[in-house]
Amino acid sequence: MTDHSLHTDLFSPTQLGGLSLANRFVMAPLTRSRAGDDGVPTELHAAYYAQRASAGLLISEAVNISAQGRGYNLTPGIWTEQQVAGWKKVTDAVHAAGGKIVAQLWHVGRYSHVDLQPGGVAPVAPSAIKAEGVTFTPNGVAEVSMPRALETSEIPGIVEQYRHAAECAKRAGFDGVEVHSANGYLLDQFLRDSTNHRSDAYGGSIENRARLTLEVTDTVAKVWGADRVGIRLSPVTPNAGNTPLDSDVMALYGYLIPQLNRFGLAYLHVVEGATGGSRELPPGVDLDALRKLFDGAYMGNNGYDLELAMDRRAKGLIDTVAIGRPFIANPDLVARLRHGKELAVAPHEAYYGGGAKGYIDWPVAA
């Protein structure tokens, strides 16, 4: 019988800061849109995550930190007591199955719609620049709305939303949290000069544009202890509104990543290429060079199969590997990879919305 664990340490236990993992495989965050309008996780969520607990670490689907931070209907939140109770069922089920799970903290910023915002107000953003694309609202699919620029005086309130969500995640029983500063959402919008045209302390220079991500990370680390906090970055992905890249990717992340070192984070999670798409990089961008700037554990993500993961691990280019879509149809993905079993493929219509079908009805391999 095939046993790939004889040729790589990916299947062996490892440590990510304060997180002891059974192996180096991570289930990447996957939006599945199975919550209700109240954003409360259900027994379905508990079953879904528990089925996949053999991954070394589960990163939750992106979780709204506030009503303002919501950009898609039927996505879960982590700011009300009912949501905390719902997530507690999830974390209890994962722990009972021997797994570890962190909550990915999410504010979508400009990628939202007035029908998703409290009082029907405009979404917030660093600058009043409209995103491209559509989103799912309670009234169906709609083009995202024009945002308004946050006032400087409002930004401490954004940081407070992250602090409150981090506290809620702690009470919900998570093992840690991941700051979502990627994929064209709020923190990423502040980072990029394509979406940040501010002239205050949060705009203009790279140092100013990185300020909010660093303030949020610092605040969340004070709640959890930095060794249970990770951060996700996507230097070259245009997701969420076809967000243009920063004009100088290497300079921006060449500043941000060393600044993150002062916290002593559990890990840096990087989307290598365009999320869910090509691993090809623009001219002049070297993500491996940026990776070397981080003092802690590095989590590679995007288009990984076992061969690529083994190769990059053997070269010392990753510490852990985050895999997304294959986990949808293969709850026992780690065992299938270890023993060379065929992988099931989920149809796209199973990704978002619905109930148990296409969510918790995938069998494990014999």
Task: Report the catalytic residues.
Answer: 185
Residue 17 contacts by C-beta under 8 Å, 6 or more apart in sequence? Answer: 176, 226, 227, 228, 229, 230, 264, 265, 266, 267, 296, 297
Tokens for 215, please give them: 């303030």
Per the rule left: phi > 0, alpha: psi between -120 and 50, beta: everything else, 146 is beta
Tokens for 16, please give them: 């990510």
123 close to 113: Cβ distance less than 8 angstroms: yes
Secondary structure (H, E, C), 133-149: CEEEECCEEEECCCCEE
Q: Which residues pair with 14 in a beta bridge?
A: 21
Torsion angles phi and psi, residue 269, rounded to 5? -110, 115
Query: DSSP letter at 75?
Result: -
Chain centroid to CA 139: how far? 26
74-79-82 Cα angle (round to 5): 75
What percent helix, strand, coil does the chain show, rounded to 5? 35, 15, 50
Residue with tokens 């590679």: 300
